[in-house]
Amino acid sequence: MEESPISPSRRRFFLSILLAGIGAMLAAVALWPLWRYLSPPAGSGKEEKMAMARNLVPVGGAHFFQFNGHPAVLLQNSPGSFLAFSAVCTHLGCIIQWQPEKGEFLCPCHAGRFSSTGAVLAGPPPKPLESIPVTLSGDQVLVG
C-alpha cells in the first residue's frame, strides 16, 4: 500500500486554516473581558422597587442592601422619616459606612464624610450621595 504524498500547497492551506482558527479563538478570549466591561450591566435601564419592613431600620440607624445590583442604604433619621442613598462614595467608589454615634457616613478609603441627608461634610468627595426615592405603604418602606 502506497500512500500518496500530500502536496505542499495542500499542507500550507491546512496550516493556514488551523492558524486562523487558533487566532480567532485567541482574539475572542482576549476581547471578551473588554466586551463585558463596555456592555451595560444586566437589568440596567429598568426601574426596580423594593419593599422592606419599617422595623428593619431602627430610629437613628441604617440598613444596607442591594438595589439594582449596587449597594444602597436605608436610613431612619426620625420616627417615620426614611431616606435612601447609594452606598457608593462619589469620590472613588468605595462603600460608605454608617457611624451611628456621629450620625454620619464615613468613606473608609479617603476619610470622606457625608451627613445623614447625603451632603458632603468633609474630605475629597466632589458631590453628595445619590438619593433614591422612598415612599411609605403601611408597614412597608418602598425604595425606588
Looking at residue 57, its pLDDT comes to 87
The burial of 141, by beta-carbon neighbours within 10 Å (0-12 exposed, 13-18 middle, 19 or more buried), is given as buried
Give the span between the Cα atoms of 61 and 56, in whole angstroms: 9
Tens-digit pLDDT profile for residues 73-131: 999 888 888 999 999 999 888 999 999 899 899 999 888 999 999 999 998 989 999 99
Residue 112 backbone dihedrals phi, psi, to 5 degrees:
-70, 140
Q: Is 125 left (phi over 0), alpha (psi -120 to 50) or beta?
A: beta
Looking at residue 22, its pLDDT comes to 96
SS3 53: strand
Q: What is the mean pLDDT of residues 129-143?
A: 90
Give the span between the Cα atoms of 64 and 86, in whole angstroms: 10
SS3 19: helix
Which of 88, 79, 80, 78 minimizes the C-alpha distance to 132? 88
Tens-digit pLDDT profile for residues 7-53: 888 889 999 999 999 999 999 999 999 888 887 766 555 567 888 88
Tell me the pTM.
0.65
Looking at residue 44, its pLDDT comes to 52
Which sequence spans correspond to the domains of the chain? Answer: 7-39, 50-143
Residue 43 backbone dihedrals phi, psi, to 5 degrees:
85, 0
Looking at residue 41, its pLDDT comes to 66
Looking at residue 115, its pLDDT comes to 92
**Architecture of the domain defined by 50-143:** 3-layer Sandwich (2.102)
